[in-house]
């Protein structure tokens, strides 16, 4: 018997820039992924630009070392490149069909993000774009029609590109006000349609990836990274405070990229090294957003990289009074940490550290570790004691379409079955877990690699990495399996 409470929310999750497409439709402004090419597990995605002399160029993006826009260059869509997010899976035009399929699976919750650049195309306008507001109203109404609760990420890696280009992005304090204005606009607009809001998707990536990507980060990178985080913490806290005045029933969550860190050996030095990863990678953001103040170890982390943050008294007050109600996170894998020389290293995108001999790995090098999810849930609940949501969890894998059109993705079913059991075990141990939204309820463009063939969905989308395909939707075996799981409230996992 599994242990899911009666009102447990079951569903799936997507993000605007990875699903919607329609990148230049109805007044939408550009975002970073619109100038980012596709990559693979071995090759990075590239961000494209025109330099100050008018020459096209590109740099490796998404956390790869050394990538930045040259002085005087402007982000640009170049003619001879393919940009997978431009069309993505065209959720913008097909949301009715997709939400109907989600309803058929039995969803009680659907996590999606609002594209800031659909609402304020350049980020700094005084008036919102009505077409953008209308689009999400229609999406939320469609969800409500099926009794599906929308769970809305206000930001999912998609700051309007004009704010990056003209203001230098989140290291600039001005972004706080632009974000809060955007958040206020959508919270007022949808106050009767949306109850659950997540302020920043995987907020901790900014500095965690500096640690994970082979330690390429310079002191200047950390200075910028920690200031970006501080500005986002303030924006998040101000949004929570404001939101509660718009509708006191709103429920706010943070959103953390949840990775379980293990010491690779029982050498006490490895135990401490793993604990440091929990602090810098996981607790750093959770402590500010849930407890309302920087953790005791924060000063040490800043000192290690000579970071001097700009923090005002008012900021501290905002952080204290703008804490979130629930802790939400993504979970895909665990990582091993060691102070010893690593002889067997994990190779993949966004995976790092020593290979764990007790685990198997995906084709992208991500460890399959359901027990790591249970560990994370129990550790985090014990630390914060607020309700938790797993708002992303899934397996990126190659799928094969059989001659008759069916897709037998038993590997994906196995992955989710194990993680659902792990959630149930954590609940049995006292964790207040209230929702599970699997990642990519439908195939969408991978954030890390820009691939379509790294598929997560329970619904197959006919689209390849070069943009060929009909975009037709087909339920996979996992679709019917998840339908049974939801109908039985997690009892029938076979
Ligand atoms: C999370 C992100 O990091 O992981 C998603 O919130 C992303 O946007 C997901 O798609 C899976 O990562 P990827 O790189 O396989 O798409």
pTM recorded for the entire structure: 0.97
The domain tally of the chain equals: 1
The pLDDT value recorded for residue 170 is 97
User: Stretch 367-386: mean pLDDT, rounded?
Assistant: 98
- Whether residue 54 is contained in a domain is answered as no
Atom index in ligand 1 nearest the CA of residue 366 equals 15
Which of 203-212, 348-357, 435-444, 484-493 shows the lowest per-residue confidence on average (mean pLDDT)?
348-357
Residue 77 belongs to some domain of the structure: no
Indicate if ligand 1 lies below 6 Å from the C-beta of 252: no
What is the 392 CA–ligand 1 centroid distance (Å)? 8
Position 130 in a domain: yes
Residue 64 has pLDDT above 70, yes or no: no
Going by CA atoms, what residue is nearest to atom 16 of ligand 1? 446
Assigned domain for 55 exists: no
Number of the ligand 1 atom closest to the C-alpha atom of 350: 14
189 catalytic per annotation = no
What is the structure's pLDDT at 213?
62
Residue 66 lies in a domain: no
SS3 of the chain: the string is: CCCCCCCCEEEEECCHHHHCCCCCCCCCCCEHHHHECCCCCCCCCEEEEECCCCCEEEEECCCCCCCCCCCCCEECCCCCCCCCCCCCCCHHHHHHHHHHHHHHHCCCEEEEECCHHHHCCCCCCCCCCHHHHHHHHHHHHHHHHCCCEEEEECCCCCCEHHHHHHHCHHHCCHHHHHHHHHHHHHHHHCCCCCCEEECCCCCCHHHHHHHHCCCCCCHHHHHHHHHHHHHHHHHHHHHHHHHHHHCCCCEEEEEEEEEEEEECCCCHHHHHHHHHHHHHHHHHHHHHHHHCCCCCCHHHHHHHCCCCCCCCHHHHHHHHHCCCCEEEEEEEEEEEECCCCCCCECCCCCCCEECCCCCEECCCCCEECHHHHHHHHHHHHHHHCCCEEEEECCCCECCCCCCCCCCCCHHHHHHHHHHHHHHHHHHHCCCCEEEEEEECCECCCCCCCCCCCCECCCEEECCCCCCCCCCCEEECHHHHHHHHHHHCCCCCCC
CATH number assigned to the domain comprising residue 134:
3.20.20.80
Whether 361 maps to a domain, the answer reads yes
Q: Quick check: CB of 439 below 6 Å from ligand 1? A: yes
Task: Flag whether pLDDT at 393 surpasses 50.
Answer: yes
Q: Is residue 59 part of a domain?
A: no
* Ligand 1 atom at minimal distance to the Cα of residue 201: 6
Range of the domain at 340: 9-31+85-487
Is 189 a member of any domain?
yes
Active site residue 202: yes
| Residue 369 pLDDT exceeds 90 | yes
Per annotation, catalytic residue among 20, 164, 392, 451: 392
Whether residue 396 has its Cβ less than 6 Å from ligand 1? yes
Report CA(330)–ligand 1 centroid distance (Å). Answer: 9
Q: Is the pLDDT of residue 483 over 50?
A: yes
| pLDDT tens, residue by residue, 290-331 | 999 999 999 999 999 999 999 999 999 999 999 999 999 999
Active-site position among 20, 142, 149, 202:
202
Lowest mean pLDDT among 43-47, 184-188, 405-409: 43-47
């Amino acid at each position: 018997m599994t242990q899911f409470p009666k009102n447990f929310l079951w569903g799936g999750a997507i993000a605007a820039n990875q699903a919607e497409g329609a990148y230049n439709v109805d007044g939408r402004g550009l975002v970073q992924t619109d100038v980012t090419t596709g990559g693979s597990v071995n090759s990075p995605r590239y961000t494209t630009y025109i330099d100050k002399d008018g020459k096209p160029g590109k740099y490796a993006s998404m956390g790869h070392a050394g990538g930045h826009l040259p002085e005087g260059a402007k982000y640009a869509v170049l003619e001879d490149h393919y940009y997978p997010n431009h069309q993505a899976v065209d959720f913008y035009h097909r949301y009715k069909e997709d939400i109907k399929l989600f309803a058929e699976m039995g969803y009680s919750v659907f996590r999606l993000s609002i594209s800031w650049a659909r609402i304020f195309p350049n980020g700094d306008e005084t008036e919102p774009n009505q077409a953008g507001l209308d689009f999400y109203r229609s999406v939320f109404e469609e969800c409500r029609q099926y009794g599906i609760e929308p769970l809305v990420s206000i930001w999912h890696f998609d700051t309007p590109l004009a704010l990056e280009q003209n203001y230098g992005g989140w290291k600039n304090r001005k972004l706080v006000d632009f974000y809060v204005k955007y958040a206020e606009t959508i919270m007022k607009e949808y106050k009767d349609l949306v109850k659950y809001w997540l302020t920043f998707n995987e907020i901790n990536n900014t500095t965690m990836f500096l640690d994970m990507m082979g330690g390429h980060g310079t002191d200047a990178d950390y200075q910028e990274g920690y200031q970006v985080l501080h500005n986002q913490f303030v924006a998040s806290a101000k949004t929570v405070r404001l939101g509660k005045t718009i509708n006191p029933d709103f429920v706010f969550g943070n959103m953390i990229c949840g990775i379980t860190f293990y010491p690779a050996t029982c050498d006490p030095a490895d135990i401490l090294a793993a604990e440091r990863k929990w602090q810098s990678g996981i607790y750093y953001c959770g402590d500010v957003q849930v407890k309302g103040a920087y953790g005791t170890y924060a000063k040490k982390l800043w000192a290690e990289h000579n970071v001097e943050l700009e923090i005002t008294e008012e900021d501290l007050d905002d952080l204290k009074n703008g804490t979130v109600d629930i802790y939400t996170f993504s979970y895909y894998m665990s990582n091993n940490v060691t102070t010893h020389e690593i002889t067997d290293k994990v190779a993949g995108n966004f995976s790092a550290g020593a290979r764990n001999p007790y685990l198997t790995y995906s084709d992208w090098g991500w460890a399959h570790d359901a027990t790591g999810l249970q560990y994370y849930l129990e550790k985090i609940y014990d630390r914060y004691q607020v309700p938790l949501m797993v708002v992303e969890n899934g397996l990126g894998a190659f799928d094969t379409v059989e001659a008759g059109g069916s897709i037998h993705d038993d590997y994906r079913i196995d992955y989710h079955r194990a993680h659902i059991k792990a959630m149930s075990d954590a609940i049995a141990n006292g964790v207040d877990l209230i929702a599970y939204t699997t990642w990519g309820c439908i195939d969408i463009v991978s954030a890390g690699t820009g691939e379509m063939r790294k598929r997560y969905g329970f619904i197959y989308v006919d689209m390849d990495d070069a943009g060929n395909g009909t975009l037709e939707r087909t339920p996979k075996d996992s679709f019917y399996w998840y339908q049974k799981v939801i109908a039985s409230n997690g009892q029938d996992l076979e």
